[in-house]
Amino acid sequence: MNAEQILKEMTLEEKAAFCSGRDFWHTKAVERLNVPSVMMCDGPHGLRKQEGEGDHLGINKSIETVCYPTAAALASSFDRDVMRRLGEALGQECRAENVAMLLGPGLNIKRSPLCGRNFEYFSEDPYLAGEMGAAYVQALQSKGIAACAKHFACNNQETRRMSGSSNLDERTLHEIYLPAFEAVVKKGRTRSLMCAYNAVNGEFCAENKMLLTDILREKWGFDGFVVTDWGAVKDRAKGVSSGLDLEMPGGPNATGEELLEALKKGELAEADLDKAVLNLLRFVETAVRQRDENAVIDRDACRRLARQLAGECAVLMKNENLLPLKEGQKVAFIGEFADKPRYQGAGSSHINVPHPVSALEAAGDAVIYVRGCDVHSDRTDEKLLKEAVKTAKDAEIAVIFAGLPDAFESEGADRDHMHLPDNQNELIKAVAAVNPNTVVVLHGGSPVELPWLSQVSAVLCMYLGGEQAGAAAVDLLYGRVNPSGHLAETWPVRLQDNPSYLNFPGEDGVVTYAEGIFVGYRYYDKKELAVNFPFGHGLSYTSFAFSNLIVDKEKLTDQETVTVSVDVTNTGKIAGKAVIQLYVHDVKSTVRRPLRELRDFAKTELQPGETKTLFFTLDKRSFAYYEPKVHDFFVESGEFIIEVGESCRDIRRSVSIHVEGTTPLSFTIDANTTIGQLMKHPRGAAFIRQMMGRSDGPSGSEQAEAMGEGSEKIMQQMMFDMPLGSLVSYGRMTGRQLKDLIVSLNA
């Protein structure tokens, strides 16, 4: 089929109808023109293909397949190759099942640990989320299957998710909530993008021209198609005019009459409708061309991959020389999740797994098992507790499998606290009291408060690690796999410490992102707040040393790149994988900036004593912040510190460079523009220096000396805060001179 030729032959009625789905999972066919219907399915950590009645909440049954680790776990791998291997496997499965598009990845930022859908999202950091997402999209699409990045944009909670408005400033939008999508568009070349239910600053995403056209298509160069989240359409004609292409789920009642009526009234241009139809036709054309009727899938191989990936993603949070366990030790597995693991979340991404492997099954006769408590309740069962305590007391090692039950986190509902169920906390404290060698294995999609942290010797976080999470946990506990995961989000001590605490989930459907750019570690580090575990944290059974941090140039402009190299050595006795995190710190900025920001990362395997040199390339965006005055990313000239380490609070090496910004910060000047602001203007700074040089009165330093010690800084601040109009009030120029100056500087 030829998309452009078919568009010319379609009637208006066919075009209007084509912009809605046939049913829950298929596009409409145009039989007259031999345009077939193609299928899309939920993902992204497994294929949820429904062959009967469809739904978007995971209620009706789907085919039996493989469940991989969820995004919360995958991001903790800090490994682009993990995402590539997953994308290729899912792409091959989609080909075998004749699925044209897999919905995902989920790129929304973890603004609050309470978001019920956080298990589907990567990180609190936009760079990490974008890199992981882009690697996945590239791999999936290499198999001929379209990716659909979601949910665009600022869909960071489930409360009022279908009708609420996320209100935030321009800098926060571009610096925190859009970069992951930008990376997946520019680097991943995603073929589709799903717009969110919610509004951004009062304009619903499905009809938000700023998002769907101005930013997505014109600024980022997106050439795919935009589909709604299921049921997100509010005004179809306005949506198409703004850059929306496909309404889902559609169905037999979605005939396109609303669009036809809008065309008659002049509320919708036919050219905009044609754009939408052409985008969809190109998607179908590509899907048909890349279809492979002979594709097959080896699900046993997929299960082996799921186990490997779960091992790469798990994070060893704490280890007081207890792990790995030794073969032959008397080990007690305690907790229902050891027997019936929680390995995925509820909702549209729920995968139908025929047989998830539990830790108990994987360990076999090597361990003793007791239930400990009822995971479907938060009340303590005294009989189960006593049995667990007795068993733990008699064992050399007690391993408690704990975490959030299904009812605590799901699509469609946010949590209202960060606690584990009370009976689980009581179980852990009671066991740790009788056995100092207590390990806690955590399952769940988000951070929880850990009131017993100081009482246990080790904590292994599996997140929601897919159907093989139980087997992977045993691999990790016994050292058959060396832990290498690092946290993609901060684990705060308590919910009240989270920067969104006072503004989540908002009121009356409106949530204000009052914390601005200070999300996650950007906030905790700036505030110097104690946390349970910082962003990027992760332990290993070996150790790594960093040395020879070198930059290929110490001075550069923002139009150049700088290459950074660092040597990493395995200083332990066993092989392991090191995660190298590179952060950038702006030493002195005139705007508020985080203490440091992740700008690159790498993961590499090292044998004992082995050293590898890792290379990173930093460009303009690595040093920039988003400047609303120019509506773009902007580099202030000055000193920057490049840091490498194993977490945002475990910096091992640093080096200083000077970056010269080449783009002048031009903006409109008026009488209320301060002298400090004018110093950022390319010609304004020269004027201020000239004016201060011809002062007839005592100099600033002389005035400060007369006022006493330490006053020079105060005088400088007072001057920088003065509006230009004050120069007239203080007799430094006339009103006419000020007007002429403003006209000249704005020219």
Secondary structure, 3-state, 594-633: CCCEEEEEEEEEECCCCEEEEEEEECHHHHCEEECCCCEE
Whole-angstrom distance, CA of residue 641 vs CA of residue 21? 51
Asked if 62 and 46 count as a contact pair (C-beta separation under 8 A), the reply is no
Q: Tens digit of pLDDT for each residue in 354-393? A: 999 999 999 999 999 999 999 999 999 999 999 999 999 9
Asked if 563 and 613 count as a contact pair (C-beta separation under 8 A), the reply is no
More confident residue, 60 or 644: 644
82-86, 329-333, 735-739: the lowest-pLDDT one: 735-739
26-30, 187-191, 694-698: the lowest-pLDDT one: 694-698
Q: Tens digit of pLDDT for each residue in 29-75? A: 999 999 999 999 998 899 999 876 655 555 567 899 999 999 999 99
The pLDDT value recorded for residue 9 is: 97
More confident residue, 747 or 656: 656
The pLDDT value recorded for residue 677 is: 81
7-16, 146-155, 410-419: the lowest-pLDDT one: 410-419
Average pLDDT over residues 295-315: 97
- What is the secondary structure of 355-410 as a DSSP string? -PPPHHHHHGGGEEEE--S-TT-SS--HHHHHHHHHHHHHSSEEEEEEE--GGGSB
Average pLDDT over residues 202-231: 98
List the catalytic residues: 229
Whole-angstrom distance, CA of residue 325 vs CA of residue 321? 10
Cα separations (Å) of 350 from 59, 119, 477? 9, 12, 27
Nearest to 503 by CA among 73, 174, 188, 114: 114
The pLDDT value recorded for residue 60 is: 66
Which positions ≥6 away from 262 have C-beta within 8 Å?
Answer: 236, 237, 268
Going by their DSSP bridges, the two strands 165-167 and 192-195 should be labelled as unpaired
The pLDDT value recorded for residue 715 is: 64
Place of tokens 């366990």: 325
Cα separations (Å) of 628 from 109, 173, 209, 270? 21, 11, 19, 34
- Residue 684 pLDDT class (50, 70, 90 cuts): confident
Whole-angstrom distance, CA of residue 563 vs CA of residue 329? 49
Domains of the chain by range and CATH?
Answer: 1-34+195-289 (3.20.20.300), 299-533 (3.40.50.1700), 544-660 (2.60.40.10), 675-746 (no CATH)
Half-sphere exposure of 209 (CA within 13 A, CB side): 6
In one-letter notation, the amino acid at residue 421 is: P
| DSSP bridge pairs for 271 | none
Whole-angstrom distance, CA of residue 335 vs CA of residue 497? 29
Nearest to 345 by CA among 129, 77, 57, 40: 57
The pLDDT value recorded for residue 704 is: 47
Q: Tens digit of pLDDT for each residue in 581-606? A: 999 999 999 899 999 999 999 999 99
450-464, 564-578, 638-652, 705-719: the lowest-pLDDT one: 705-719
**Backbone φ and ψ of 576, nearest 5°:** -165, 170
% of the chain with per-residue pLDDT over 90: 85
Answer whether residue 277 shows pLDDT above 80. Answer: yes
Which positions ≥6 away from 390 have C-beta within 8 Å?
Answer: none
Nearest to 273 by CA among 11, 19, 2: 19
Average pLDDT over residues 565-579: 98
**Degrees to nearest 5, angle at CA 453 with 448 and 456:** 130
The pLDDT value recorded for residue 695 is: 47
Going by their DSSP bridges, the two strands 458-463 and 438-443 should be labelled as parallel
The pLDDT value recorded for residue 610 is: 98
Whole-angstrom distance, CA of residue 350 vs CA of residue 467? 11
Answer whether residue 531 shows pLDDT above 70. Answer: yes
The pLDDT value recorded for residue 616 is: 98
The pLDDT value recorded for residue 693 is: 64
User: What pTM value is reported for the model?
Assistant: 0.94
Q: Tens digit of pLDDT for each residue in 116-154? A: 999 999 999 999 999 999 999 999 999 999 999 999 999
Give exposure, 356-385, as e/b (b: 16+ Cβ within 10 Å). bbbbbebbeeebbbbbbbbbeebebbeebb
The pLDDT value recorded for residue 250 is: 87
Answer whether residue 719 shows pLDDT above 80. Answer: no
Answer whether residue 709 shows pLDDT above 60. Answer: no
- Helix H or strand E encompassing 147: strand 146-152
Half-sphere exposure of 393 (CA within 13 A, CB side): 9
Strand runs (DSSP E) across 6-94, as ranges?
Answer: 40-42
Whole-angstrom distance, CA of residue 454 vs CA of residue 442? 16
Both tokens assigned to 547: 């040395």
**For the chain, what is the mean pLDDT?**
94
% of the chain with per-residue pLDDT over 70: 95
The pLDDT value recorded for residue 699 is: 47
Asked if 372 and 484 count as a contact pair (C-beta separation under 8 A), the reply is no
The pLDDT value recorded for residue 51 is: 76
Place of tokens 């903006």: 667
Cα separations (Å) of 177 from 126, 187, 516? 7, 17, 10
Answer whether residue 696 shows pLDDT above 50. Answer: no
Asked if 197 and 229 count as a contact pair (C-beta separation under 8 A), the reply is yes
Answer whether residue 248 shows pLDDT above 80. Answer: yes
Estimate the crossing angle of helix 299-313 against helix 469-477, to 10 degrees.
50
Cis amide bond preceding 206, omega within 30 = no
The pLDDT value recorded for residue 744 is: 87
What is the 3-state composition of the chain as percent helix, strand, coil, each rounded to the nearest 5? 35, 20, 45
